[in-house]
Amino acid sequence: MELVRATEAAAIRAVPFIGRGDKNAADKAAVDAMRVFLGTVNFDGLIVIGEGEKDEAPMLFNGERVGNGRGPACDIAVDPIDGTSLTAAGRQNALSVIAVSSRGTMLDASSVFYMDKIVTGGAGRGVVSLDAPIGDNIRELSKKTGKPVGEMVLAVLDRPRHAGLIDEIRSAGAGTRLMSDGDVAGGINAARWETRIDMCVGIGGSPEGITTACALKAIGGYMQGRLAPKDDAERAGGIAAGLDIDKLLELDDMVSGDNTFFVATGVTDGGLVDGVRRQGPIIRTESIVLRSKSGTTRRVIAEHLASKWL
């Protein structure tokens, strides 16, 4: 619940900036709120996935210590708003996110910004591979799940780099769910049995990949990733940081162990959670809390007195 309070605060503080076209202002409001609440949490947290390097991000930067220092030692991934552009444009699927794992278990991939990913439910384990053509992955997952190819839906970030991938998916007979941003929610929805999304594929942020891995540990999903440096300089930087750039990363390579938490609160409405809503004197938030050790998914609906947030 302490983590939920932090994502709730970030989401609520971002609301005045929804649809205002200023993603930096929205992000700053969320960062400031999250940082205050994280300072009260009973843990010794080290931010592995944050807002960038210290000089670029005065709040919640990579390597910052958070929490009151009196609890367990943890690795932390934070994204006060996953989908700042979505928030600024007033679009769906913006989230405030925190992921936590035991100290030393979260891969620090911050020196390489992008990661190629494939995410499915548990049925994809041993069935799909990032090294296989997407058409083969679709057909193999269809066989495993018994779902016809023509009914399958793949989530993909709507980017020019994915034009060929999208064509291949459609040529295989499956449909696409194009995302303008926020592939954390896309990955989680690909692993949840009650959604229409069967797979999330393509190149997105490596921080979002590690964050998604924490969530998948809790819901029994499957994921592979491979770092995708944008140029030779970034590749060299990743190698200097000790990363195996070409390695096919399994879930345990991204987050080892079985003690992860993932918390997300909706900023705007989406397929994972509803966004923040003002209802008279009440501010309503919806959050999802995933815990790997117990394999539980909890939804937290909270009503906050608006007068306390003025």
Residue 80 known to bind ligand = no
- The CA-atom distances, in angstroms, between 301 and each of 41, 81, 197, 268, 270 are 20, 19, 24, 15, 15
Residue 114 known to bind ligand = yes
Residue 183 known to bind ligand = yes
Residue 208 known to bind ligand = yes
Residue 83 known to bind ligand = yes
Tokens 């035991």, located at residue: 102
Distance (Å, rounded) from C-alpha 92 to C-alpha 69? 36
Q: Which two tokens stand for residue 223?
A: 């994921």
Residue type, 298: R
Residue 253 known to bind ligand = no
Residue 161 known to bind ligand = yes
Residue 51 known to bind ligand = yes
Residue 222 known to bind ligand = no
Residue 79 known to bind ligand = yes
In three-state form (DSSP H/G/I as H, E/B as E, the rest C), the secondary structure along the chain is CHHHHHHHHHHHHHHHHCCCCCHHHHHHHHHHHHHHHHCCCCCEEEEEECCCCCCCCCCCCCCCEECCCCCCEEEEEEEEEECHHHHHHCCCCCEEEEEEEECCCECCCCCCCEEEEEEECHHHCCCCCCCCCHHHHHHHHHHHHCCCHHHCEEEEECCHHHHHHHHHHHHCCCEEEEECCCHHHHHHHHHCCCCCCCEEEEEEEHHHHHHHHHHHHHHCCEEEEEECCCCHHHHHHHHHCCCCCCCCEEHHHHECCCCEEEEEEECCCCCCCCCCEEECCEEEEEEEEEECCCCEEEEEEEEEEHHHHC
Residue 160 known to bind ligand = yes
Give the residue ranges of the annotated binding site for Mn(2+).
27, 51, 79, 82, 208
Give the residue ranges of the annotated binding site.
27, 51, 79, 82-84, 114, 159-161, 181-183, 205, 208
Give the residue ranges of the annotated binding site for substrate.
82-84, 114, 159-161, 181-183, 205
